[in-house]
Amino acid sequence: MPVITYREALRETLRQQMRRDDDVFLIGEEIGVFEGSYKITAGLLAEFGEKRVRDTPIAEEGFVGAAIGAAMLGLRPVVELMTINFSLLALDQIVNHAAKIYGMFGGQTNVPMVIRTPGGGGQQLGATHSQNIELYYAFVPGLKVVAPSTPADAAALLRASIQDDDPVLFLENLALYNSKGEVPENLDDLPPVQIGKAAVTREGSDITLIGYSRMATVCTQVAERLAGEGISAEVIDLRSLRPLDRETLVASVRKTGCAVIGEDDWLTYGIGAELAASISDGAFDYLDAPVRRVAMAEVPLPYAKPLERIALPSADSLYTAAVETLAAVGARR
């Protein structure tokens, strides 16, 4: 099976879906002639033309609103926002229109659109370009929010998102674009992925490690390190933040008795708080230790590389939390 990058998996999925369905079109800043800030759309303008690969002004509220209108009339727009930070300029369109039209119109019209956008720190882009604000959108009923961590899941989830009849916010972490993984040469051979279903990417019995996007890969790294010390860690990749697969979380923690959550956003009111509450609701009597959360420092992310590195959650910080949790339950390493 070919090994390709996360970036290539996204591009080939866009190409496949555009070839398959003439209603699918791309719209966003610099996605055509410049081929996208991160080159996800490289070559697509040449293949599909300006009608289906639409460059826009730097006006997020305007072109997201245009995409919503197009979706209401039967097209399937895929919007590229240069960064999730810029989604704040289109917050009204996303939250008050895309998420609510189906319900407010009594189901008379769907909004089948995807908003692709990268986020995450570690690239020295400064505090206003390095945020993980997916919580803003995962909070909103009417939106679906997905965050794949591997090239194969990126391809499968993007395909599912484009074919879905609801608006989907598709989160990409900048740190993952060059990561590599196996993806079938024929994308039709990819197993279907259900939006709202987490993946148990590594089975274990001693502790559950939970993450999404970049932190799902960090959880796997920590599980491998713990395995070298005789600890069996189960790893759950959420893949979807809304809908949230609470059943898989609860089943895992009922088996292992303890959990550590890794997230790239801030700790207070973060995604991890919802996960911890869900575990408490469904597995309280099975917990041998409090659920631990590892997240970003509660500061605007510094530009200076050493400070940025310290502020972000890491494999070392997740490993330390796992070891301390295991110690609390009396596990011997």
Is residue 129 part of the annotated active site? The answer reads yes
Say if 333 falls within a structural domain: no
Residues 115 and 141 in one domain: yes
Is residue 97 part of the annotated active site? The answer reads no
Closest CA to 204 of 292, 326, 316, 314: 326
Domain harbouring 220, CATH code: 3.40.50.920
Residues 39 and 172 in one domain: yes
Residues 206 and 314 in one domain: yes
Q: Write out the residue range of the structural domain in which residue 31 sits.
A: 3-189
Say if 231 falls within a structural domain: yes
Total domain count, the chain: 2
Residues 45 and 109 in one domain: yes
Say if 155 falls within a structural domain: yes
Residues 159 and 267 in one domain: no
Residues 111 and 227 in one domain: no
pLDDT given at position 1: 82
Task: Tell which of 139, 156, 189 closes a domain.
Answer: 189
> What is the chain's pLDDT, residue by residue, as a tens digit (333 residues)?
899 999 999 999 999 999 999 999 999 999 999 999 999 999 999 999 999 999 999 999 999 999 999 999 999 999 999 999 999 999 999 999 999 999 999 999 999 999 999 999 999 999 999 999 999 999 999 999 999 999 999 999 999 999 999 999 999 999 999 999 999 999 999 999 999 999 999 999 999 999 999 999 999 999 999 999 999 999 999 999 999 999 999 999 999 999 999 999 999 999 999 999 999 999 999 999 999 999 999 999 999 999 999 999 999 999 999 999 999 887 655
pLDDT given at position 328: 87
pLDDT given at position 62: 97
Domain harbouring 167, CATH code: 3.40.50.970
Residues 143 and 207 in one domain: no
Say if 75 falls within a structural domain: yes
pLDDT given at position 332: 54
Residues 48 and 127 in one domain: yes
Say if 194 falls within a structural domain: no
Task: Tell which of 142, 157, 189 closes a domain.
Answer: 189
Residues 91 and 181 in one domain: yes
pLDDT given at position 330: 76
Question: What contacts 284, CB < 8 A, 6 or more positions away?
Answer: none
Residues 98 and 159 in one domain: yes
Q: How far is CA 86 from CA 54, 78, 212, in A?
A: 18, 16, 21
Which residue is catalytic, options 8, 60, 234, 274?
60
pLDDT given at position 331: 66
Whole-number Å distance between alpha carbons of 37 and 2: 25
Task: Tell which of 140, 169, 189 closes a domain.
Answer: 189
pLDDT given at position 109: 95
Residues 20 and 144 in one domain: yes
Residues 276 and 310 in one domain: yes
Which residue is catalytic, options 29, 80, 129, 263?
129
